[in-house]
């Protein structure tokens, strides 16, 4: 089934980043996913189309009002249902959400294919009236421990991660199953022509044509990188016999460097 996204945003034009370029554009043209945009300003009850107001309790900045957001979300859900969605799930992108991980992306992509439509709420200003979140938001998701200017980029990042999991989204050669993190490890380094660049050669093994040796070298490079940069990923994951052997080699090599 086609993956259905509906985004509620006062900056709908930002989503051209997703529909205009690359794999996400190709996948949309191939009918793998569709996006509808809902501007809460269209549901404002005043002639100036404002959807924000000052925070109760004082302080700087503005808060998005519940009513126009709820009306936009309601319209998005109604359209999804009319188009045959089995279910609609409202997600708010915010730094207060549950951190997004690869396993969650896989799970959500499967739900999309099974007919669960996503409604992504993109906040602006200092946030959204909490009562709207309590009333309609089913999941709050964070893409990382930092603040940006609004939820749109986070929504697009989530959509991109989901779209590349849809069957047929990546070319024949590429496969989402080979992505970094599927293995629970960081990706190994990559090289292309020329063989010598700025005095640096491509690792000899990659020119050898010995596929077993190349696979082993890549696995070892992934393990070494993960150990150095993200050691906590290794404590969350079991090692195979081969991986344990490679880790021992890596530890010995590291000792020599110091
Ligand atoms: C803005 C601000 C300005 C002055 C004082 C305090 C402030 N807090 C914020 C703020 O957190 N704004 C957010 C902007 C409100 C919700 C939407 N915005 C948002 C979402 N920024 N970053 C995200 C986000 C979403 C998912 N994962 C990481 C970040």
User: What is the 216 CA–ligand 1 centroid distance (Å)?
Assistant: 43
pLDDT at 257 > cutoff 90:
no
- Determine the average pLDDT of the residues in 52-68: 98
Q: What is the DSSP string of 187-227?
A: PPP---S-SEETTEEPPGGGGS--HHHHHHHHHHHHHHHHH
pLDDT at 239 > cutoff 90:
yes
DSSP secondary-structure letter at 2?
-
- What pLDDT is recorded for position 73? 99
Nearest protein CA to atom 2 of ligand 1, as residue: 126
pLDDT at 58 > cutoff 90:
yes
Residue 106: partners with Cβ closer than 8 Å, 6 or more residues away: 165
Question: Lowest-confidence range among 26-40, 171-185, 197-211, 226-240?
Answer: 171-185
Nearest protein CA to atom 24 of ligand 1, as residue: 94
- Determine the average pLDDT of the residues in 3-21: 98
pTM for the predicted model, two decimal places: 0.95
User: What is the 209 CA–ligand 1 centroid distance (Å)?
Assistant: 50
- Determine the average pLDDT of the residues in 96-113: 98
As for ligand 1, residues whose beta carbon falls within 6 Å of it are 60-61, 93-95, 123, 126-127, 142-144, 147-148, 150-151, 154
- What pLDDT is recorded for position 178? 72
- Ligand 1 atom, smallest distance to 147 CA: 22
**Structural fold of domain 196-257:** 1.10.1270
- Determine the average pLDDT of the residues in 141-163: 98
Domain edges within the chain: 3-164, 196-257
How far is the C-alpha of 13 from the C-alpha of 159, rounded, in Å? 16
Spell out the CATH class of 3-164: alpha beta
Give the percent of the chain with pLDDT over 70.
98
pLDDT averaged over every residue in the chain: 96
């Amino acid at each position: 089934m086609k993956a259905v996204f509906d985004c509620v945003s006062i900056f709908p034009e930002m989503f051209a980043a997703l529909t205009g370029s690359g794999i996400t554009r190709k996948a949309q043209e191939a009918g793998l996913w569709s996006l509808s945009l809902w501007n809460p300003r269209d549901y404002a009850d005043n002639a100036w189309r404002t959807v924000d107001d000052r925070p109760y309790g004082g302080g700087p900045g503005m808060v998005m009002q519940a009513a126009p957001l709820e009306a936009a979300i309601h319209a998005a859900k109604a359209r999804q249902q009319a188009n045959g969605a089995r279910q609609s799930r409202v997600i708010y992108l915010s730094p207060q959400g549950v951190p997004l991980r690869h396993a969650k992306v896989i799970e959500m992509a499967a739900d999309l294919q099974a007919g669960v439509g996503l409604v992504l709420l993109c906040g602006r200003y200092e946030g959204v009236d909490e009562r709207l979140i309590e009333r309609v938001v089913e999941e709050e998701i964070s893409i990382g421990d930092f603040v940006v200017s609004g939820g749109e980029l986070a929504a697009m990042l989530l959509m991109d991660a989901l779209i590349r999991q849809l069957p047929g989204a990546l070319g024949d050669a590429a496969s989402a199953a080979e992505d970094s993190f599927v293995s629970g490890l960081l990706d190994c380094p990559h090289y292309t022509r020329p063989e010598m660049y700025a005095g640096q050669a491509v690792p000899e093994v990659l020119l050898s044509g010995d596929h077993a040796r190349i696979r082993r070298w890549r696995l070892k490079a992934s393990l070494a990188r993960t150990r150095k940069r993200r050691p906590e990923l290794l404590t969350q994951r079991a090692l195979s016999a081969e991986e344990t052997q490679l880790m021992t080699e890596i530890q010995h090599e590291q000792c020599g460097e110091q």
